[in-house]
């Protein structure tokens, strides 16, 4: 029986799977590892890549088209897992080095009070300056280890942004104690299942850790439409979970668009981005801020989630 079950949701991931499969196969972790792929009707050859994987036991579970849910699908992977620990990875996240899993689960081995651990995320080598700056300012990029405990009363006393920071957890690269996840599953969610789960386990008296020795390479190229959609999903979920609303009205929307545009153009220029990226920095910044505004607004108005969500 493996010690660690690596669970990866897959949807048309052929561009990233060869590197991910090789990285998982190379892991040196006490007790060994298995990989469970939850495939959402991929049509790009992902199934063939998973079937041909070498060096690690791979099980592929089908997720019917239209039935994928960030929380429920990961819960299913945990139920099917054989390991004491379940390590979640995004299909485009690449573990760094053969000791990634060992470094990730080490805090869980050491402290039975911990429910989950996050890895440190680092940007891809070709990452643009704005995305790099965003990631490096995030808690998931911290170079210092941390452990978090909090009572329900303490969480309720925090403002929304402080509560979000306390509940920092990202299943792009993470590990959880399987028995804890079965007792406290991820909520069904279009987005934000990881921070919602963090809030849940902290209230249950359990702790969370960040293990910077476990690193995953993960960043996305910036496109205005994708940025709007991601920020809409993220901030709508955070508004519903924590009441977070960073751009609550049109006046602050206008100011935030101007400030973000100036900042991102400057970051692009100083970072020697391409001329095209410098030109596109402002509209991309505007798209991000628009998503931050629109998501909480629609949550307040109780509008249905958009079809693309």
Q: Which residue ranges make up each domain of the chain?
A: 4-217, 225-300
- SS3 percent helix, strand, coil of the chain, rounded to 5, is 45, 20, 35
What pLDDT is stored for residue 221 in this prediction? 83
pLDDT in tens, 183-215: 999 999 888 999 999 999 999 999 999 999 999
* H-assigned helices in the chain: 17-25, 46-51, 70-80, 100-110, 129-136, 152-156, 160-166, 178-183, 193-203, 224-242, 250-270, 275-300
> How many Å apart are CA 309 and CA 300, to the nearest integer?
17
Beta strands 85-89 and 173-177, pairing class: antiparallel
Residues 6+ apart with CB under 8 A from 212: 120, 142, 143, 144, 145
65, two tokens:
């088209």
> How many Å apart are CA 160 and CA 162, to the nearest integer?
6
Residues 6+ apart with CB under 8 A from 292: 231, 232, 235, 246, 247, 256
SS3 of 33, please?
Answer: strand
> How many Å apart are CA 74 and CA 61, to the nearest integer?
11
> How many Å apart are CA 279 and CA 261, to the nearest integer?
10
Nearest-CA neighbor of 173 among 131, 122, 110? 122
pLDDT in tens, 254-264: 999 999 999 99
Q: Are 32 and 55 in contact (CB under 8 A)?
A: no
> How many Å apart are CA 54 and CA 189, to the nearest integer?
33
Nearest-CA neighbor of 37 among 21, 26, 15, 23? 21
What pLDDT is stored for residue 309 in this prediction? 81
> How many Å apart are CA 138 and CA 306, to the nearest integer?
27
Over its length of 309 residues, how does the chain's per-residue pLDDT go in tens digits? 899 999 999 999 999 999 999 999 999 999 999 999 999 999 999 999 999 999 999 999 999 978 899 999 999 999 999 999 999 999 999 999 999 999 999 999 999 999 999 999 999 999 999 999 999 999 999 999 999 999 999 999 999 999 999 999 999 999 999 999 999 999 998 889 999 999 999 999 999 999 999 999 999 888 999 999 999 999 999 999 999 999 999 999 999 999 999 999 999 999 999 999 999 999 999 999 999 999 999 999 999 999 888
What pLDDT is stored for residue 67 in this prediction? 87
Task: Provide the CATH topology of domain 4-217.
Answer: Spore Coat Polysaccharide Biosynthesis Protein SpsA; Chain A (3.90.550)
> How many Å apart are CA 82 and CA 80, to the nearest integer?
7
What pLDDT is stored for residue 220 in this prediction? 86
């Amino acid at each position: 029986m493996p010690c660690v079950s690596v669970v990866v949701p897959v949807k048309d991931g052929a561009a990233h799977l060869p590197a991910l499969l090789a990285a998982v196969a190379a892991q040196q972790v006490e007790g060994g590892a298995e990989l469970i792929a939850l495939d959402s009707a991929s049509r790009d050859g992902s199934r063939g890549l998973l079937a041909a994987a070498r060096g690690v036991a791979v099980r592929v579970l089908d997720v019917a088209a239209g039935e994928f849910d960030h929380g429920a699908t990961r819960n299913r992977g945990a139920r099917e897992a054989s390991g004491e620990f379940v390590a979640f990875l995004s299909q485009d996240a690449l573990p760094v080095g053969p000791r990634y899993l060992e470094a990730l689960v080490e805090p869980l081995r050491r402290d039975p009070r911990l429910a989950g651990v996050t890895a440190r995320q680092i940007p891809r080598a070709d990452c643009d300056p704005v995305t790099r700056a965003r990631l490096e300012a995030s808690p998931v990029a911290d170079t210092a280890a941390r452990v978090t405990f909090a009572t329900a009363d303490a969480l309720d006393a925090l403002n929304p942004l402080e509560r979000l920071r306390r509940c920092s957890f990202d299943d792009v690269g993470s590990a959880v104690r399987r028995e804890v996840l079965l007792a406290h599953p991820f909520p069904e969610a279009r987005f934000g299942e990881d921070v919602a789960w963090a809030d849940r386990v902290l209230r249950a008296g359990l702790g969370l850790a960040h293990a910077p020795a476990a690193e995953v390479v993960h960043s996305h190229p910036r496109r205005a439409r994708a940025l709007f959609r991601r920020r809409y999903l993220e901030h709508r979920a955070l508004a519903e979970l924590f009441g977070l609303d960073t751009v609550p009205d049109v006046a602050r929307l206008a100011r935030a668009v101007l400030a973000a545009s100036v900042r991102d153009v400057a970051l692009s220029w100083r970072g020697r981005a391409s001329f095209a990226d410098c030109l596109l920095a402002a509209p991309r910044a505007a798209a991000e801020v628009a998503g931050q505004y629109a998501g909480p607004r629609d949550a307040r108005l109780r509008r249905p989630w958009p079809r693309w969500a």
